[in-house]
Amino acid sequence: MTATAILGLGASGNAAARLALHQGEEVYVSDLRTDAPTATRAADLRALGADVQLGEHDVGRLVTADTVVVSPGIPPDAPVLRTLRARGVRWISEPEYAFRFLHGALIAVTGTNGKTTTCVLTAHLLREGRVQVALGGNLGGGLAPAASELPLLDPAPEWVVLEMSSFQLADIDAFRPDIGVVTTLAPDHLDRYPSVQAYYADKARLFENADSRCRWVLNGDVPEVESLAGDAPGARYRFSLGRGPEMNAYLANEVLTLRVGEKEEPLLPVSELPLLGRHNVANALAAALVARLVGVTAVEIAQGLRTASPLPHRLEAVAEDAGILWVNDSKATNVAAAVSAILSLDRPLLLLLGGKDKGEDLAPLARAARGRVRVAICYGAAGARIADALEDAGAPVVRVDGGLNLAVEVAREQAQEGDVVLLAPACSSFDEFENYEDRGRRFTLLARREAA
């Protein structure tokens, strides 16, 4: 009997364990955590036949397993992984494990920002074209299941759309998408990676197993994306907010337009897209291009784009009163995402910045804020460093000695008719909240109180 060991009992580890049990494998799962939710998942897996250990890892079990699956939340320098590495044991990520058992064609989406919106939009457009599709992977927030849940679907979908993080791509082996998408590329996760180059190298693993049958959908506005693909085999298609000769999805006179063959196919005006922000126009172009490659018609794609819904915590308009719009972009957990949000809105901004510092260069944020942000309200653990950077660049700043609640209170006092109060923190949430969703929910609640 094949033995599979799984490190980590979060959503992905739990899904991998259930898939392994379904395949008739001998399953060992371990997690250092012993909290109540983890204990409940452990009890459920034990009832299904898994051997689950909490509070420690049995290295002996791990080194003798045929396959070791590591959850993305376990950093590469964790003691258990250092031990396995020293003993020459290789491991794989949970989506790599799921890939072994997938039956449908695979669309894999990665990038620094825009992954989730592009994944959800792609699945929505495929459904509009009556394509049987399943969505999963790194989406989080309850938007979709872990990758390992998808091979258990009956009937099996024709297409699978997976969001892939750099942490998941780091530990692939044979993973190869039929259509691979790179939305954007910018520095991120420098609290986990030793350099930007190391982060990009994990993203580039999307192309590692490419062959001539692969099709790649790339952001034509970001030169680093093209560099990431290198000389990987397969056909390349590009999307852009401009209109270059090599682009296959672009804006023509503010109309989202496709050109996959010889014929130009207008979809809809930007004004009819129900998503805030220019970066979401780019995400829509990427999703539309993927759908067209799958075979969805331009008419069906246009209809799907018109009925798209904004995702929570991603440039989400949550309240408006007295001419002041409150926008929740809590998912803007890095500098590039915050800059994108700033550049996407054309009203005076009161910008809430702060949280747990990820160690990024703040110069691009300061440049974007200057002239566009009426007031930057800097709060939380990273507030002082952000305030220093913005002040040095000549951007107006209010320093808040406290957390998000106080920052929102200051925003309420400062806001004027016509302003947008934008939460685009450029930081993770872990100084004050469990995750970015928790932060976004708090902001939404406070915004709606202020607008009441």
For residue 70, the domain's CATH number is: 3.40.50.720
Catalytic residues: 115, 138, 189
Domain count of the fold of the chain: 3
The two tokens of residue 214 are 């692969």
Are 258 and 388 contained in the same domain?
A: no
Are 171 and 129 contained in the same domain?
A: yes
Length of the chain: 452
For 291-302, letters b (16+ CB in 10 Å) and e give bbbbebebebbb
Nearest to residue 285, comparing CAs of 251, 311, 244? Answer: 251
Nearest to residue 290, comparing CAs of 314, 267, 325, 258? Answer: 258
Burial (CB < 10 A; 0-12, 13-18, 19+), residue 75, is: exposed
Location of structure tokens 């399943």: 134
Are 77 and 121 contained in the same domain?
A: no
pTM beyond cutoff 0.85: yes
Are 135 and 278 contained in the same domain?
A: yes
Instruction: Determine the pLDDT at residue 244.
Output: 76
Are 84 and 106 contained in the same domain?
A: no
Are 323 and 182 contained in the same domain?
A: no
Query: Last residue of some domain: 61, 90, 119?
Result: 90
Q: Are the C-beta atoms of 206 and 177 separated by less than 8 Å?
A: yes
Q: Are the C-beta atoms of 334 and 360 separated by less than 8 Å?
A: yes
Nearest to residue 114, comparing CAs of 186, 193, 212? Answer: 186
Tell me, what CATH number does 332's domain have?
3.90.190.20
Tell me, what CATH number does 114's domain have?
3.40.1190.10
The two tokens of residue 435 are 């995750």
Does residue 396 sit within a domain?
yes
Query: Last residue of some domain: 306, 341, 368?
Result: 306
Are 248 and 285 contained in the same domain?
A: yes
Location of structure tokens 């075979």: 295
Tens digit of each residue's pLDDT, the chain (452 residues): 899 999 999 999 999 999 999 999 999 999 999 999 999 999 999 999 999 999 999 999 999 999 999 999 899 999 999 999 999 999 999 999 999 999 999 999 999 999 999 999 999 999 999 999 999 998 866 779 999 999 999 999 999 999 999 999 999 999 999 999 999 999 998 888 999 999 999 999 999 999 999 999 999 999 999 999 999 999 999 999 998 788 999 999 999 999 998 899 999 999 999 998 899 999 999 999 999 999 999 999 999 999 998 888 988 989 998 899 999 999 999 999 999 999 988 899 999 999 999 999 999 999 999 989 999 999 999 999 999 999 999 999 999 999 999 999 999 999 999 999 999 999 999 999 999 999 999 999 999 986 65
Does residue 322 sit within a domain?
yes
Are 110 and 212 contained in the same domain?
A: yes
Are 338 and 237 contained in the same domain?
A: no
Are 74 and 197 contained in the same domain?
A: no
Q: β-pairing, 397-399 with 420-423? A: unpaired
Domain of 401, in residue numbers: 316-451
Does residue 39 sit within a domain?
yes
Instruction: Determine the pLDDT at residue 245.
Output: 80
Does residue 311 sit within a domain?
no
Are 329 and 389 contained in the same domain?
A: yes
Are 203 and 260 contained in the same domain?
A: yes
The two tokens of residue 289 are 């291009």
Query: Last residue of some domain: 55, 90, 125?
Result: 90
